[in-house]
Structure 1
Amino acid sequence: MAQRLERTPVPGRRKAEVLGLAAELFARDGYASTTVRDIADAAGILSGSLYHHFPSKEAIADAIISPLLSEVLTSYEAIVAAGGPPREAFEALANASLMALERHRAAAVVYEQDRRQLAALPRLAHLADAERTIERAWTTVLERGIADGEFRGGLDARIAYHLIRETIFSVARWHVPGEQPDLERISDQYLRILLDGVVRAKRKKERRD
């Protein structure tokens, strides 16, 4: 009988598996409350072995969050540079955000709940720059829409951005294991509410002669 050969795990694949497990733990328990040993136990390896893949817990968090931010920032840069009508650009920013959050759901939760703490860490200081770039993209589109008269006058672009940001990132927390969110429906309803409101316009009463 031929000897059965054991397959050696592909390092890149194993690293991705560890990152996925760490992301879920960070999202569930928070970055501060999750230890390297927790991640190693979840991955079925010794804590020391984890350092063959990552030099620190900070490095793990960076590797989890960076792909999300890279995708968002690349999309935002292209949308703003295109210089389309403000409403179309607004919709594009929202859709790009929702798609990125779905692809990186756990990372989005970690970033949202722990970003201030993480940004204070030396390895993750770039998060503050990313946050400013994200804000600038949204406020640029909002201010352009206000100036063009496409968005309501008197709107504070910065306040509007923070409200929009909170509602977008909250979508990542709606995840139900085993279920895929209907992003098309979520996006449609989200944009309807933000751009058209929830109050039905009152009909003007017809004057009687």
Structure 2
Amino acid sequence: MAAGRSGQPATTRRGSRAGGHSGSQRRSELLGIAAELFATRGYAQTTVRDIADEAGILSGSLYHHFSSKEEMLDEILREFLDPLLERFTAIEKQGENPEQVLDELVRHSFAAIHASPVAVALYQNELTMFSRQPGFEYVGRTGKKIEKIWLTVLKAGQKSGVFRPDVDVHLTYRFIRDAIWSTVRWYRPRGKYKHEAVAVQFLLVLHGGLHTA
């Protein structure tokens, strides 16, 4: 997964809207604000005060919900990566036809971008930082597990004769991975293109290429 920015940060200060929210709702709202700032400004460049200002609260009030900026980042990443890995694992186990499994992996990837564009952009933008950040080693491990799933499917397709045998599966995976996740730079959940339609077009090119014959 390697891409760019997810779009513009929120245009409204949200603190005034959340006065009557429950603790869990307020926590989720603050995580959403932090994720947008981390993705658009950069994690290192975003301070606790920045998050609090965007939420319309004092910096000290943020610590009623989170012990640190690192805790917020950890929760954002786990809420994105854990379900993604779980779903990819289920897709691999439930499918018997490698081509159908690959197609479903692709479709779910675009669905994940649609559902969590800010988390996807954050992951893409800060991946190098995660590898150096103590306590975030699991991010790299999760990425390797996801890669293994895709490679297993590609190899199974070659073995069964569904996929051509003269391509390098590791390079193929990287081509597919980067092509999919880089769409976070331009895809908009409320934009012209729906994620299902984007997945269909991607699969048409992936399986058939651009040649008419």
Question: Shorter-chain-normalised TM-score: which range?
Answer: 0.7 to 0.9
State the match for 1:137 in structure 2. Answer: 149
Give the structure 2 partner of residue 127 of structure 1: 139
The higher relative CO (CA closer than 8 Å, separation ≥ 6) is in: 2
- State the identity %: 38
Equivalent residue for 1:77, pick from 80, 89, 96: 89
The answer as to 2:29 corresponding to 1:12 is: no
Query: Counterparts of 1:185 and 1:162 in 2: how far apart (Å)?
Result: 22
1:126 CA displacement: 0.6
CA displacement at 1:123 relative to structure 2: 2.5
Q: One-letter code of the match for 1:17?
A: E
Does residue 99 of the first structure (1) align with residue 111 of the second (2)?
Answer: yes
Structure 2 letter corresponding to 1:12: S
CA contact (8 A) 1:40 1:47 kept: yes
Task: Please name the residue that 1:206 is paired with.
Answer: none
Q: What is the CA distance between 1:18 and its match in structure 2? A: 0.7
Q: Equivalent of 2:180, from 168, 192, 202?
A: 168
**Structure 2 counterpart of 1:66, from 78, 103, 106:** 78
Matching of residues 30-49 of structure 1 within 5 Å: 30-49=42-61
**Distance (whole Å) between structure 2 residues aligned to residue 154 and residue 175 of structure 1:** 32
Post-superposition shift, 1:23? 1.0
Distance in 1 between residues matched to 2:207 and 2:41, nearest whole Å? 35
> Relative to structure 1, is the Cα distance of residues 136 and 177 closer, same or farther in structure 2, using a 3 angstrom cutoff?
closer
Shift of 1:33: 1.5
Q: Which residue identity does 1:64 align to in structure 2?
A: I
Structure 1 residue 176: Cα displacement: 4.1
Distance 1:66 1:180, change over 3 A: farther
Q: Which string of whole-angstrom CA distances, capped at 9 and with x for unpartnered residues, describes residues 83-135 of structure 1?
A: 41111000010111111221111000000111221232223211011000010
Deviating above 4 A after TM superposition, structure 1's stretches of 4 or more consecutive aligned residues are none
Asked whether the equivalents of residues 23 and 110 of structure 1 are also in contact (C-alpha less than 8 Å), the reply is yes
Q: Is the 8 A contact 1:68 1:101 kept in 2?
A: no
CA distance in 2, matches of 1:116, 1:192: 32
8 Å Cα contact 2:110-2:196 kept in structure 1: no
Gaps of 5+ in 2: 1-18
- SS at structure 1 position matched to 2:66: coil
Q: Partners of 2:59 and 2:112 in 1: how far apart?
A: 31
Q: Judging changes above 3 Å, is the alpha-carbon distance between structure 1 residues 132 and 190 closer, same or farther for their aligned structure 2 residues?
A: same
Q: Match of 1:98, SS?
A: helix
* CA RMSD across the alignment: 1.7
Higher radius of gyration, 1 or 2: 1
| Count of aligned residue pairs for this structure pair | 195
1:119 touches 1:126 (CA, 8 Å); kept in 2? no
State the partner residue of 2:4: none
